[in-house]
Amino acid sequence: MSVNVSPRQLSEPGFVPMLAGLLAASGLDDPSRLVLEITETALLSNSVDLQDRLHALKALGVRIALDDFGTGYSSLTWLQSVPADIVKLDRSFVAGLATDPRKASIISAVLWLARSLGMSVVAEGVEDIADWDALRTAECPAIQGYYFSRPLTPDDMHAMLLRGPALSLEAV
């Protein structure tokens, strides 16, 4: 399960202890099943406190995803200094990927870099089969977007899971 964490939440000194308490109370047997998605704007301060909090979150066993990577103020330094497990490529790199060789080159480079650093990549914002095919060809390990589903309530998610896959498993 992935949860967005705002810059304000991340800056709160009590955030890590609160999350530790929630994890303990939840009975979640494997904290790595929880992914905290942190946007680039949350990293702008790049303070010692922020780095300490991120490392404390990792010590809890949760995974950290750099959300909307590639927009705004991205820095390769963050890939080196932030203890992230996942890089989430922003939709701006994905939309039109199938027809834009420059975007394809950028995606290939980010995939290579992330793999070299032991990180996984999720491509966000896939809205058509052409971009999905281009990402599969690039061997992107995880893909999300409206092509597959809009955000769902828990009840709608349950109903969707009961219906089974809408996409052909052969296409995957």
Secondary-structure percent of the chain, ordered helix, strand, coil, rounded to 5: 50, 15, 35
Which residue bears the tokens 């530790």? 20
Please give the pLDDT value at position 50.
Answer: 84
* Torsional class of 86: left (φ above 0), alpha (ψ -120 to 50), beta (otherwise): beta
Please give the pLDDT value at position 73.
Answer: 63
Total length of the chain: 172
Q: Which CATH number fits domain 2-163: 3.40.50.300, 3.40.50.2300, 3.20.20.450, 3.30.70.260?
A: 3.20.20.450
Q: Residue 169: is its pLDDT beyond 50? A: no
Q: What is the end-to-end Cα distance of the chain in Å, rounded?
A: 21
Please give the pLDDT value at position 43.
Answer: 74
- The pTM for the full model equals 0.85
**pLDDT tens track for 17-60:** 999 999 999 988 899 999 999 987 777 666 778 889 999 999 99
Q: What 3-state class would DSSP assign to 130?
A: helix
- Cα(163)–Cα(4) distance, integer angstroms: 27
- The winner for highest mean pLDDT among 35-49, 61-75, 116-130, 140-154 is 116-130
Q: Percentage of residues in the chain with pLDDT exceeding 90? A: 61
Cβ(34)–Cβ(23) below 8 Å: yes
CB-neighbour burial class of residue 106 (10 A; exposed 0-12, middle 13-18, buried 19+): middle
What are the residue boundaries of the structural domains of the chain, listed by start?
2-163
> 70-105 burial string, b = 16+ CB within 10 Å, else e?
beeebeeebbeebebbbbbbbbebbbebbeeeebbe
- Rounded to 10 degrees, the C-alpha dihedral 81/82/84/87 comes to -90
Cβ(166)–Cβ(150) below 8 Å: no
CB atoms within 10 A of CB 16: 18
68-83: average pLDDT: 76
